[in-house]
């Protein structure tokens, strides 16, 4: 799909403030990982062959609307996923794992949460409409969303990120498997 994906070196300072340029870079890095992922890659290739550029531009607009308040995104997220009928619960776990990890690598925590909370909220609404309203959202995913919301609203007296077991990437706890396993 894309070449020359820039993975920031471990010592590259993370962004403090989201802006249009670093959101574009985030989108490119995330979909670069999606494209290489054995579980998600094929779903996206089937849907987006010949349309990747359009998708990346649309996703940059989408995240800019959410995080910068630019309000330029005109689309319907639910409708866009309706035709993608091969999506199973494990695909959400992988999508979230890759997204949260990519965000965490590129942004300081205060900026990162501005992407993480909407991603988890929208994922949840997509899961419920795909799998039925009685679908049980994985508990760890629910807890992560609740923790991020507490941080934003200041309900948590000592705001902090959820525990990161050992050297595991941040979201590994709730997906249960490292991102490179099928």
Distances (CA, A) of 5 to 1, 27, 62, 111, 166: 10, 11, 20, 22, 27
CB 39 within 8 A of CB 15: no
Q: Which stretch binds ligand HEM (CB under 6 A): 2-10, 84-92, 158-166, 170-178?
A: 84-92
Tell the smallest beta-carbon distance from residue 95 to ligand HEM (Å): 4
Of the pair 119, 147, the CB lying nearest ligand HEM is at 119
Give the one residue of 14, 24, 91, 149 binding ligand HEM; rule: CB under 6 A. 91
Tell the smallest beta-carbon distance from residue 126 to ligand HEM (Å): 6
Positive or negative, the CA dihedral 135, 59, 38, 146 is: negative
As a whole number of Å, the CA-based R_g of the chain is 16
> What are φ and ψ of residue 18, in 5° steps?
-65, 140
Residue 119 makes contact with ligand HEM by CB under 6 A: yes
Provide the mask over 1-40, with x wherever binding to ligand HEM is found by CB under 6 A and - wherever it is not: ---------------------------------------x
Residue where the block lists tokens 């997906």: 175
Tell the smallest beta-carbon distance from residue 160 to ligand HEM (Å): 24
Of the pair 120, 172, the CB lying nearest ligand HEM is at 120
Distance between CA atoms of 13 and 84, rounded to whole angstroms? 37
Residue 57 makes contact with ligand HEM by CB under 6 A: no
Distance between CA atoms of 58 and 37, rounded to whole angstroms? 21
Distance between CA atoms of 178 and 38, rounded to whole angstroms? 13
CB 97 within 8 A of CB 171: yes
Tell the smallest beta-carbon distance from residue 82 to ligand HEM (Å): 9
Residue 87 makes contact with ligand HEM by CB under 6 A: yes
Of the pair 74, 160, the CB lying nearest ligand HEM is at 74
Return residues touching ligand HEM (CB under 6 A).
Answer: 40, 43-44, 47-48, 58, 62, 75, 77, 80-81, 84, 87, 91-92, 95, 119, 122-123, 126
């Amino acid at each position: 799909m894309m070449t020359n994906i820039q993975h920031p070196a471990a010592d590259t300072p993370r962004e403090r403030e989201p802006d249009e340029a670093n959101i574009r870079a985030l989108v490119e890095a995330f979909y670069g990982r999606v494209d290489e992922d054995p579980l998600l890659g094929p779903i996206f290739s089937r849907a987006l062959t010949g349309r990747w550029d359009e998708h990346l531009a649309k996703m940059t607009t989408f995240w800019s609307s959410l995080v910068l308040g630019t309000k330029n995104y005109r689309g319907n997220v639910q409708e866009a996923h309706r035709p993608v009928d091969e999506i199973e619960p494990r695909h959400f776990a992988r999508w979230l794992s890759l997204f949260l990890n990519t965000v965490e690598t590129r942004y300081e925590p205060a900026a990162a949460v501005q992407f993480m909370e909407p991603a988890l909220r929208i994922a949840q609404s997509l899961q419920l409409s795909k799998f039925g309203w009685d679908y049980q959202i994985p508990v760890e995913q629910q807890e992560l969303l609740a923790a991020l919301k507490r941080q934003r609203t200041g309900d948590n007296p000592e705001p902090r990120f959820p525990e990161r077991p050992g050297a595991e990437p941040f979201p590994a706890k709730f997906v249960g498997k490292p991102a490179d396993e099928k």
